[in-house]
Amino acid sequence: MRLYLVVILSFLFFNGCAFIESKKQLKLENNLAKVDEEAILDEMSLHDAARINDIDLLSYLLKQNKSLLNKKDRFGYTPLHLAARFNHLQIAEILINNGAIVNSVDKFKDTPLLDAFRNRYSKMAKLLLCNNANKDVVDKYGVSPLQYALKAKNQLLIKMLESNNLNSFCKENDESMLLDESLNRTYEKKQKKEIKKELITLDSYTTINDNTPKICGKVLEKDIESIVLRVDKVEYKGSINNNRWCAQVENSLENKDYLLSVDAKKQNFIDKKRQTVSIHVLNSLYKALNDEFNKDFENWNAKLQKDTLTFRFLNPTTMFSNGSLEISDKYKDILNSFAPRYIELLYQYKNQIVNVLVQGHTSSIYRSAKTEEEKFQKNLELSKKRAQNVYSFIKGIDDKRIKDKIIWIEKNFFPEGKSSLETIKNSDGSENYELSRRVEFKIQTVPNK
């Protein structure tokens, strides 16, 4: 009996000790696990949370250290950049609400908005636009958010980018959603009626040195009903001449980038052309030229066009006789006074001047020619030779201001024949045959880098 009692007591004692030890070990393991978990969380970054779309981790890390909100990784990405790239909308909303910089630029020259538009993430793009993302940006390929939206045919984003007031688009209700659906339904309905077809081309433009430019292209189809150019929300009707179309911008444009939008229609066929162009006229150069030659304009019967920086002599008989290539003595006297001063002044702007075009122009008349094509070709030869003769005469002027800059002149001045492409019009729209025969000096500039 005593033996059984000893055995039972021994069993209870040893098992009790084992239970207590096991409980201590479990508590230790739990504590260690908690320490390890916190250490792992601390080692993770907001970038990781944004990349893997972990909202709980993001919230935890923001509470721990909000100062890293706009930190960039080795690629220049902020957490918001990554949220935009991976289309993690809720992550982006949390980051923005906590003060993330919306217009941060990475090493690839992209902003979060550019990433969203390039990848066609509509809701992400809208979120960023509604939080003051800069829409006037381009990526390393020179493509803007608007160009990406046009390519994706996203009517809501196109409207947002073209609008100066985003309030109606960014309201926190169903109004903007209804607008989105309405715009896209309208577009889809319109698309069913219109069939895309190549009807025209749009000439390639990069920088235009004219505040009221003429925009042109080729006509590929006969019987086109209409061509409409839109610039800065203003429409200009295009006119067709042979196989070319042109539209004249009548409102003076400021120096900045614009989207050229051209729509051509023929029955139920439509062709849409889009292109971004930079308008740049060096206004300080216009003032300097105007100040320099203001007293000479009347004596020379000359004019300086502000919109194009074109120096034009308005008395063609002073320059050349009808059909002649020889520069008149009177025009030589004018060039001897004009050219050295003109070149001396332009040289001060040499870093912003790309070309100075010495352009020969003619009227559309050529008496011995029988066809319009022959008239154009003969006038082209005449205008080329006249421009070349003026260019050669200027280079040969015996003046130190010319001789010291002869290398710059040869690199930047170019004679060019225009034939009857740019005739001068009377007030009633008819051609002024006398004034159309001329040689002009036109300056092409680029924005100062």
**Predicted confidence (pLDDT) at residue 334 exceeds the cutoff of 70:** yes
Q: How confident is the model at residue 194 (pLDDT cuts 50, 70, 90)?
A: low
Fold adopted by 207-279? Immunoglobulin-like (2.60.40)
Same fold, 46-193 and 283-445: no
Q: What is the pLDDT of residues 237-293, one digit of tens each?
A: 999 988 899 999 999 888 888 889 999 999 888 999 998 888 877 778 889 999 999
What is the signed CA dihedral for 433, 436, 438, 439, rounded to 10 degrees? -160
Residue 195: what are its φ and ψ, rounded to 5°?
Answer: -115, 130
Q: Is the pTM of this model over 0.75?
A: no
Q: What is the pLDDT of residues 370-388, one digit of tens each?
A: 898 899 999 999 999 999 9
Q: Please state, in angstroms and rounded to a whole number, the distance separating the CA atoms of residues 129 and 137.
A: 12
Name the percent of the chain lying above pLDDT 70: 83
**What local confidence, expressed as pLDDT, does residue 35 receive?**
38
Give the torsion sign (CA, 265, 269, 270, 271): negative
Mean residue pLDDT across the chain: 83
Instruction: Name the nearest CA neighbour of 420 among 367, 386, 382.
Output: 382
Q: How confident is the model at residue 173 (pLDDT cuts 50, 70, 90)?
A: very low
438-445 and 353-361 strand pairing: antiparallel
Whole-angstrom CA distances from 97 to 46, 54, 72, 92 are: 15, 16, 18, 8
Tokens encoding 117: 């538009």
**Predicted confidence (pLDDT) at residue 356 exceeds the cutoff of 50:** yes
Instruction: Name the nearest CA neighbour of 83 among 106, 49, 114, 57.
Output: 49
Higher pLDDT, 256 or 400: 400
Whole-angstrom CA distances from 444 to 190, 223, 282 are: 41, 36, 9
Higher pLDDT, 438 or 206: 438
Q: At what angle do helices 145-152 and 155-162 cross, to 10 degrees?
A: 150
Q: Which residues contact 321 (CB under 8 A, 6 or more apart)?
A: 328
Task: Give the other-Cβ count within 10 Å of 211's Cβ.
Answer: 19
269-279 and 207-208 strand pairing: parallel
Q: What is the CA radius of gyration of the chain?
A: 36
Q: Please state, in angstroms and rounded to a whole number, the distance separating the CA atoms of residues 397 and 184.
A: 65
**Predicted confidence (pLDDT) at residue 20 exceeds the cutoff of 50:** no
Give the torsion sign (CA, 215, 383, 380, 446): negative
Q: Please state, in angstroms and rounded to a whole number, the distance separating the CA atoms of residues 21 and 28.
A: 11
Single-letter amino acid code for the residue at 259: L
**What local confidence, expressed as pLDDT, does residue 5 receive?**
47
The HSE-up count of residue 430 (CA atoms within 13 Å, CB side) is 4
**Predicted confidence (pLDDT) at residue 8 exceeds the cutoff of 80:** no
**Predicted confidence (pLDDT) at residue 89 exceeds the cutoff of 60:** yes
**What local confidence, expressed as pLDDT, does residue 326 receive?**
86
Q: Which CATH superfamily groups domain 283-445?
A: OmpA-like domain (3.30.1330.60)
Q: Judge contact between 438 and 319, C-beta under 8 A.
A: yes
Q: How confident is the model at residue 367 (pLDDT cuts 50, 70, 90)?
A: confident
Highest mean pLDDT among 42-46, 147-151, 155-159, 404-408: 404-408
Tokens encoding 296: 């000479």
Q: Please state, in angstroms and rounded to a whole number, the distance separating the CA atoms of residues 331 and 324.
A: 13
**What local confidence, expressed as pLDDT, does residue 197 receive?**
80
Q: How confident is the model at residue 435 (pLDDT cuts 50, 70, 90)?
A: confident
**Predicted confidence (pLDDT) at residue 32 exceeds the cutoff of 70:** no
Q: How confident is the model at residue 306 (pLDDT cuts 50, 70, 90)?
A: confident
Q: Judge contact between 45 and 68, C-beta under 8 A.
A: yes
Name the percent of the chain lying above pLDDT 90: 40
**What local confidence, expressed as pLDDT, does residue 204 receive?**
86
**Predicted confidence (pLDDT) at residue 10 exceeds the cutoff of 70:** no
Q: How confident is the model at residue 34 (pLDDT cuts 50, 70, 90)?
A: very low
Q: What is the pLDDT of residues 37-72, one digit of tens each?
A: 444 444 458 888 888 888 988 888 888 888 889 999
Which class is 46-193 in CATH?
Answer: mainly alpha
The domain locations on the chain are 46-193, 207-279, 283-445
Span 160-173, average pLDDT: 79
